[in-house]
Structure formats: structure tokens, C-alpha cells
Structure 1
């Protein structure tokens, strides 16, 4: 038996923990409360593949937020969560309607189509948000054997452009989809940021609005690893546990995924962290709006800021603070804040931007 108090390691710290960037909320480390939960779950033996005490209790944790019919299926990552969820809602000839900016369309290397075996039907949107009218651009042809059949509408909350759907907007989408025999999937990689921005409980824009299945994000809000497929309407899905295994998303030591979500959701850690990240994004947006030549181009409703600035300024600034081009040809960049972004980080970045713009 190893005494944790005597444990040492041959690993070495290979980064400067003082360095902050604005490239992605995935860049942040793990929240200390999550690390404490992992240590708590360590030691001794627990049944593998989800038959452990932590995963069993996790069902009650998620039901407290989303309702008594909720079923939670922890997975490794966000792409895996989306692929498993969409497979559970579609048949072999099924298609998914989504915004053209959706993560499942742009950033998952074709996994929903190649691994999930489904077709994506994309629609151009303003600020990344679908509407019933936009959905109808692709919601047709159910009797046409030459066309992939629209069976699911997938929305993202918050969207890839940082905007938030209101509960009423999601309810309208769900009602519209259900009337046409389709189900609704919500990609909630930043669902906590949406709830913090809207000031409402998680279930108000999910279960109560009619969402059937959601992918619940953890790593962007302080987890080490792990996301969760959350089934809100068990009547809409099939073979979830088999699809999770088939999609290589079944963790053998699942207790270490589940206990992180318990730490996040049993209290208010999820909301504290997301609220802070959102507040830092608002501070950043307010700071850069006063700089001539910089334009914030999308509403700042979560922890993301999208702006345009001169190409050469971006390249110089990237050498001082890490962030990404969103559309290099248009000069559009994205700045993300996380649970550990500080006011000093934001102010330092704003000052650096002013300095680089002054060199024009």
C-alpha cells in the first residue's frame, strides 16, 4: 500500500504557470476543486466501466439539474459526446440539420459523418443561431429516397460565435422540429456559460424547452478530461450504452470522469467558474472597444470575444499573447476567457493591443 504523503514523482514541470493566453478555454488547467475530487476518488478498487459508486451517484446529480428522467453517460471528449448522441437519434439514412458554423460541421474532422455514419445539412446563420425558418431550408424531402432524411436538429449553446439562445428561442426550435417528426440535440460544450449569461437554471433551456439529448461540456469549465451525453428524453434514443462502447467512448476507470462532474455540479462550482469567465470576456470587450481600428463583431454573451483588427497587429500581438485567427482573410480573431483568467490578464492584454495598434 502506497502512502500518498510519501509519494514523489520523476515528472517535471515543463511550463510556466504564470503564462496566460486567450486562444481557448481548453488551455486552462484543472480547477483545484476538481483535482481534490480526483484525489478523493483514488485509492482502493472500484468496479470498472461505469459500475462504480461515483457513476451511480452521478445520475442523481444530473437529475437534480435536468429532471427525473435524465440519464447520464460519461465519455472522454466533446467530439465523442456529439457522435454518440447523434448516432442514438438517427437511423442509417438519417441527416442532422445544423448551423454552418457548428462544431460538428467545422471542427470535428468529419467524425459525425465518418464515424457516426450520418449526413450534416448545414444552414448559414447570423451569429451562429438557427431559427425555425432557417431549419426549414433543409427540413424537407422525407419521402425522397434520393435524399438523406432530416431526423435531428442540432444547436449549440453557447454558439460557436459566443451568442446565447434564449429559452424561448430553443423552445420554438424544439416545437418546430418535433412537429416535423425530428428530435433536438444540444451541443453544450459551454452550457454553463450560457446558464450564467441567461441567469436561469440549466433545465429551463434544455428539458423544459424540449431538448431531447445534450452533450454536456466539462473540460472548458475546469475538468481535466471528460464530457457527458445527457439523455433528457429516453424515448428518443436507442442503444446508448452500446453506441458509447462502439464509438470508443467507454472509460474503464469511469469513476475519475464521474467524480469530476460531481465536483462541478453538486454545488455551484460550474456556475462560479462560468460566471467569472463571462465577466472577464465582458471586461475584455469593454477594454478593446475604445481602441481605434478594433471592432467587436458579435454580441459578447458568454466567454468569447470576436473582433477584427489589422493583420500585422494580430501577428505581433500573437507573439505576446496566444490567440487564434477565426477568419484570417477577414482579419477576424477570437479571444477566449476561462475560469482562471484574471483582471490583470485582461488588462495586460488590452494594454498590449493598444501598444501594437499605436505602431500602425
Structure 2
């Protein structure tokens, strides 16, 4: 299926100005449905950043906040978990996969996986790794799909499959159950492969299933986790979390070589501590998921639109007539997902309110009643 097209402009592309901040014009406050990356920073995270802004502390992770983060991830993910904070999700995935594979290694993933569709080839360009993709209509890998690419071991003519990478929740808003993750891990380990989990929206998956984070990762046999933050209320920052130390080599050096080691790392670590030390990760994900569920219910109630994927996390995929999508874009931004059939993605965030959802639903119902412009 075609990847998402960046088509999310307002009617005239303008940005209404309501004031000045540090000499920079700021747009009027609004909430869109393009991405959870559009959301601001959770107030509790901002407070944590401010609290870390005290005096001089050692750079590059030799600080109390990064030390505390190690305790937090062990509490959430198990005693062997070790966190390496990085700047962004693409960096987390590249560092993780490089550390898990030799130079000749390859990654089995779906055609819809974020590492394949939305990272501009970074695992291959920067990581020097081959991605071996398989189609998955709902974005989820299965052992049968993995078997399509997990072959040719020892064949010098083929990139060697060494890692299975799954995205949780998937790019299509679907969620792997613990049983599904365990089946993939068992298969991979039997083949001598490792399992990487891209958890940019792991919190949304755990919130949907009502499970702790380790129930979808450590307890299932996942070896390395890219732990999300930015899509769930952080200013910036994710973490490579090694769950099985035997699964990686040189991750601490690769993080620096891949330009993902922040000098003032305390400010990344402080955010991750704020998110995962208590239940902020869960509260934020629950809010985003609930907004998507409300949106899905409202769309279903209209009775005329096709939703193309289950709504299990914080995204709704729906086919919209062209004139309806154009009408909504006069006010909101969202992504075309498949331009061949009119599928768009409507994404909710931790700060999406019931009023935001209801306003969109009213506008959607109004646009559906209007006749397409003959011109």
C-alpha cells in the first residue's frame, strides 16, 4: 500500500498570528489530527526539564537523571534492562539495529513498518543494513510472514536475516497481543535471530490491552526496545533499551557515531523519567486512545464511511470523498494515507479533547451533506 502523502495544508496555507514570543510570530492555538508529533509538551515533562536545569553536572549521561532512568526502566521492564537515551525515534531504531546485527545482516519487517516507510532509508543509508519486507494488510507480522524472508542462512549471495523488527502499535493503528509477540520471538530465537521492537507508541498498545509495558516486551522475549517518548508528550527524546545484553554489541559507541548522544543528556533523561517513573505514560496514552475511540464511534454512527483498519490505539483510518477531505482541510491538518482510494489517517494525541473530536465530527457530517463542487 502506498505510504502516507504529506497533504495536510489548510485552505490557504496561512498561519494566523496572535502574538510574539521572543520575536517569533506564534500561530493561534489549535489542535490537528495529522500526528501525535504535532502535540506540545506535557506540563509535567516541562516541569521535569526545568527541575533538571540546576547548576553544572557531568555531560554525556554521567548525571543523576540518567542514573535514575536506569532504575526506572528496570522497574518497568525488568532487572536486565539498560537504557541509552537518544534524540529521536529514527536514531533509536538505527542505533538498535546496528548494535544487533553484523555489517552483512538484514532485518525482516513489514512493508508498513516505520523503519521502512518513514525514516528515509536511514537503517539502510546510515545503518548499512538491508530491510527484507513482507506485505501485511493490518501492519502486523506473523511467523508465516517472517518465514517468507527468514531463509538463505549461510548463503554468501544473500543478506543474512538476523533481526525481526515489529512496530507496536503498528503504523496502521493495530496492536500485537502478548501471544503474537511471543510467537514471533520464539520463531526468531529458534532461527538464531533477535527481535527488535519499535515502541514509539508502545504506551498506546499497552493502554489498549490494559497491560504493563514489560508484558509486551521483556516477558515475551523481545531483545531490544526503541522506547518512545516524543509521541506521548516529550519535548524530544527516546531511548534504546537493551533487554538482553547478549543481543547487542557496541551500542554505547554506535550511539555516539550515529550522532545520537546528547551532551546535555540530563534534559533527555529527565523527560523520560517524568514519563515512565509513575503513570504519566499510561494516562497520556489512555487519553489519546480514548479520543480515537470517540472519533471512530462518531464516524461509525454516520453510517456512510468505510474505516479501513481496527481502531486499537490512537489512529483512525477512513476513506473520505475528495470534497469532504478538502472541506475538513479548511480547518484541520491530517495525512493522506492512500491517495489511490482516498484513505486518510486521523491521529489523536495526549491533549486531544472531546470537544476537538466532536468539532471534527460535526464538520464531517456537514461536509458529507454538501454536494461536490462541479468545478
Instruction: Please say whether Structure 1 and Structure 2 have the same fold, judged by a TM-score greater than 0.5.
Output: yes
Deviations 1:235-281 (A, max 9, x none): 11000110000100000000000000111111110000000100000
Q: Name the counterpart of 1:14.
A: 26
TM-score, normalised with respect to structure 2: 0.92
- Cα distance in 2 for partners of 1:278, 1:214 equals 22
Question: Could you tell me which of 76, 92, 115 is aligned with 2:126?
Answer: 115
> 1:126 deviation in Å?
2.4
- Cα distance in 1 for partners of 2:255, 2:149 equals 28
Using the TM superposition, name which of 224-233 and 312-321 deviates more. Answer: 312-321
Q: Residues 247 and 64 (structure 1 numbering): CA distance in 2 closer, same or farther, change over 3 Å?
A: same
Aligned structure 1 segments of 4 or more residues deviating by more than 4 angstroms: none
Deviations 1:32-64 (A, max 9, x none): 000000000002001001111100111000000
- Cα distance in 2 for partners of 1:94, 1:123 equals 17
Question: Could you tell me which of 131, 138, 149 is aligned with 2:149?
Answer: 138
> 1:312 deviation in Å?
2.1
Question: Could you tell me which of 30, 34, 40 is aligned with 2:41?
Answer: 30
Q: Name the counterpart of 2:316.
A: 305
Q: Name the counterpart of 2:137.
A: 126
Is 1:190–2:198 an aligned residue pair?
no
Is 1:174–2:198 an aligned residue pair?
no
Q: Name the counterpart of 1:225.
A: 236
Q: Residues 218 and 144 (structure 1 numbering): CA distance in 2 closer, same or farther, change over 3 Å?
A: same
Q: Name the counterpart of 1:356.
A: 367
Report matched runs for 1:263-302 at 5 Å.
263-302=274-313
- Cα distance in 1 for partners of 2:44, 2:23 equals 22
Question: Could you tell me which of 74, 82, 87 is aligned with 1:71?
Answer: 82
Question: Could you tell me which of 72, 97, 105 is aligned with 2:116?
Answer: 105
> 1:108 deviation in Å?
0.5
**1:208 counterpart SS class:** helix
Matched positions, count: 351
- Cα distance in 1 for partners of 2:23, 2:173 equals 37
Is 1:90–2:101 an aligned residue pair?
yes
Deviations 1:180-212 (A, max 9, x none): 000000000001001100101100110010000
User: 1:293, 1:310 within 8 Å by CA — same for their partners in 2?
Assistant: no
Q: Residues 11 and 39 (structure 1 numbering): CA distance in 2 closer, same or farther, change over 3 Å?
A: farther
> 1:320 deviation in Å?
1.6
TM-score, normalised with respect to structure 1: 0.96
RMSD: 0.9
> 1:10 deviation in Å?
3.1
